[in-house]
């Protein structure tokens, strides 16, 4: 795309400030400026000195700080941990952060649950490693978080790529700490088209990679339209939601987000789903343009024993935001069964 040339502008000699005029800054103005700077510094120091009360991490995890976990390869995983009660653990979609779960965390926290959500490695406030941006490592990071917080009888909920993380977590680490699972618009059972599976062609994921590399900020902004179904004729577009999507996505590392496309598209979760031994709720909208319904929800429900499938008419991929009230109520009812 061509750009307008930058035009040079002559300096306006009459508007320039001479050295002589600058020398006449009054002592009063200097004192006022100094007082303002001092006040600003005082407020900044007070802000940094204040730290919200939070649970201290358990001992035995070298390098941990409040709300971060240092995993076995030395990378840092950021997490939120609110409230008390039976734990609900949330795993977010690509390329977002734990903040994507705010509507759920507030709701379930207010209903007496302990709610926990982490920024997947390479995303948000977690480390941005060059290597290890794959589904096995994502699942192992989550397992370390479970161990650190000593979570038991947990409800494990994943959206989109996070649904794949939940599946791989159970495939690799079992369900001894998990009571129930919820998969929402998940990338399970397998996103890629193969001779034995009706997924999406590799060209779809190549286009994602190309868009991410060529102009990430514009690509992310445009992706929010399909993510939340804002391209539907009757859609009520929220620019605030789109801006939040953009901000969360731009917090991640480019290399990490690039690698994650391979992780969520080329990982076959069918073997993981066969290992589910707990009640599982599968939720999806029928106008999902990111993870099409025909290659996800119904196929996932067929592979998971003791699963329940619920499809929301007219709802998009990002239904945890666009349809949060109903999704929250349905998950709460499932938990209480």
pLDDT at 327 over 60: yes
pLDDT digits (tens, 9 = 90+) for 217-259: 999 999 999 999 999 999 999 999 999 999 999 999 999 999 9
From start to end of 210-316, where are the E strands? 280-285, 307-312
In the numeric block, which tokens belong to residue 2? 């061509």
- pLDDT score at 59: 35
pTM: 0.82
Mean pLDDT over all residues of the chain? 86
Structural Rg of the chain based on CA atoms? 24
Average pLDDT of 147-176? 98
Question: Are 317 and 289 within 8 A, CB to CB?
Answer: yes
Catalytic residue status for 99 = no
103 vs 15, more confident: 103
pLDDT digits (tens, 9 = 90+) for 262-316: 999 999 999 999 999 999 999 999 999 999 999 999 999 999 999 999 999 999 9
- pLDDT score at 4: 37
Q: How far apart are the first and last CA of the chain?
A: 56
User: Which residue out of 64, 140, 259, 288 is catalytically annotated?
Assistant: 288
- pLDDT score at 52: 37
pLDDT digits (tens, 9 = 90+) for 88-97: 999 999 999 9
- pLDDT score at 302: 98
For 68-336, which CATH class?
alpha beta
In the numeric block, which tokens belong to residue 287? 């106008």
- pLDDT score at 20: 40
- pLDDT score at 63: 60
pLDDT digits (tens, 9 = 90+) for 51-71: 333 334 443 345 676 799 999
User: Which residue out of 127, 160, 185, 260 is catalytically annotated?
Assistant: 160
The per-residue DSSP string of 145-202 comes to HHHHHT--SEEEEEETHHHHHHHHHHHHH-STTEEEEEEES---S--B-BTTB--B-H
Catalytic residue status for 288 = yes
C-alpha separations of 261 from 121, 145, 192, 200, 230 in Å: 14, 23, 11, 13, 23
Catalytic residue status for 119 = no
- Give the residue extent of every domain in the chain: 19-49, 68-336
pLDDT at 3 over 60: no
pLDDT digits (tens, 9 = 90+) for 181-213: 999 999 999 999 999 999 999 999 999 999 999
Q: What letter would DSSP give residue 280?
A: E
In the numeric block, which tokens belong to residue 132? 């290890």
- pLDDT score at 43: 35
């Amino acid at each position: 795309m061509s750009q307008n040339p930058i035009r040079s502008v002559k300096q306006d000699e009459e508007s320039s400030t001479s050295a002589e005029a600058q020398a006449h800054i009054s002592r009063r103005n200097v004192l006022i400026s100094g007082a303002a700077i001092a006040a600003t510094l005082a407020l900044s120091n007070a802000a940094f000195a204040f730290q919200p009360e939070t649970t201290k991490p358990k001992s035995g995890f070298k390098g941990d700080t409040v709300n971060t976990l240092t995993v076995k390869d030395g990378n840092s995983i950021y997490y939120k941990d609110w409230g008390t009660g039976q734990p609900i653990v949330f795993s977010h979609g690509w390329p977002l952060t734990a903040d994507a779960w705010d509507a759920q965390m507030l709701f379930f926290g207010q209903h007496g649950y302990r709610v926990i959500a982490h920024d997947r490695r390479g995303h948000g406030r977690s480390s941005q490693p060059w290597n290890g941006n794959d589904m096995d490592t994502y699942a192992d990071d989550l397992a370390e978080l479970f161990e650190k917080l000593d979570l038991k009888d947990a409800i494990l909920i994943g959206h989109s790529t996070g649904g794949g993380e939940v599946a791989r977590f159970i495939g690799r680490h079992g369900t001894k700490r998990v009571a129930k699972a919820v998969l929402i618009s998940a990338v399970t059972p397998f996103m890629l088209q193969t001779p034995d599976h009706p997924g999406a062609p590799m060209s779809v994921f190549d286009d994602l990679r190309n868009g991410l590399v060529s102009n990430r900020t514009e690509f992310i902004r445009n992706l929010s339209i399909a993510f939340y179904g804002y391209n539907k004729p009757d859609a009520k577009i929220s620019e605030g939601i789109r801006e939040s999507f953009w901000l969360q996505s731009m917090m991640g590392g480019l290399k990490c987000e690039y690698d994650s496309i391979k992780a969520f598209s080329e990982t076959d979760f069918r073997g993981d789903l066969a290992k589910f031994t707990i009640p599982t709720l599968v939720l999806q909208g029928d106008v999902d343009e990111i993870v099409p319904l025909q290659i996800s929800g119904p196929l996932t429900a067929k592979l998971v024993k003791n699963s329940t499938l619920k499809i929301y008419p007219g709802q998009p991929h990002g239904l945890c935001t666009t349809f949060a009230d109903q999704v929250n109520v349905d998950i709460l009812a499932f938990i209480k069964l």
